[in-house]
Structure 1
Amino acid sequence: MLTGVSRLPLLVYGIASILAFGLYGYDKQQAKAGQWRTPEKLLHAVELLGGWPGALLAQQLFRHKTRKLSYQVWFWLIVALHQVIWLDVLFLKVTLVDL
């Protein structure tokens, strides 16, 4: 299947996405209940670690954090950073260790 290709990035992205999705769901529940919220820095940290796909799905499904411009700017910068890294890795054959 993926001969010679590490599955570690897929695992990291999968776990981080599940975590991000759960954090968004929890934060939305807390917001509705007027309770303590998940810090935005934590949400962004999980996105940065590879959880942005899960975060994007959760934003749309829960309709959460979609209208706050300052949050969205940081979110899309994180997504763009991941895209640039993967373009380098896939097309310029740079390994993650070289970064």
Structure 2
Amino acid sequence: MIDPPDIVAVLAALNFVAFAAFGIDKAKAEAGKRRIAESTLLGLALIGGTIGAYAGRAAFRHKTRKQPFSNELHGIALLQAFALAGLLGWTLAG
């Protein structure tokens, strides 16, 4: 079984990577260089980096007006919220 401190450490690392990816992608966009794929940014959010993705969007003011991207990121966050609520309910129900 995975220990809670390990889960927290993995999630912290994922969120840091997601945050950094948004910063790197913004810098690449401004420099006119090859960018990080949106699927990669969304994938980082999907596997647990949602908070870092939202923080990166806000901090770097990046991909805030891209409607399809925003909708997909919101969908991932909503899916994770429902999954977390379900897990919490299942745990509390015993």
Give the TM-score, by structure 2 length.
0.89
1:46 aligns with 2:44: yes
Structure 1, residues 4-46: CA drift from partner, whole Å, max 9, x if none?
x723332222111000011000000000001100000100111
How many residue pairs get matched? 90
Q: What is the aligned-residue RMSD (CA, Å)? A: 1.4
Give the TM-score, by structure 1 length.
0.85
Where structure 1 has 5 or more consecutive residues not aligned to the other structure, the ranges are: 95-99
Aligned-residue offset at 1:87: 0.3
Matched residue type, 1:43: L
More helix per residue: 1 or 2?
Answer: 2
What secondary structure sits across from 1:92 in the alignment?
Answer: helix
2:66 to 54, 65, 68: 68
Query: What's 1:27 paired with?
Result: 25
Aligned-residue offset at 1:90: 1.2
Aligned-residue offset at 1:69: 0.2
Where structure 2 has 5 or more consecutive residues not aligned to the other structure, the ranges are: none
1:88 aligns with 2:77: no
Identity %: 30
Matched residue type, 2:48: G
Separation (CA, whole Å) in 2 of partners of 1:89 and 1:8: 18
Runs of 4+ residues over 2 Å off in structure 1: 5-9
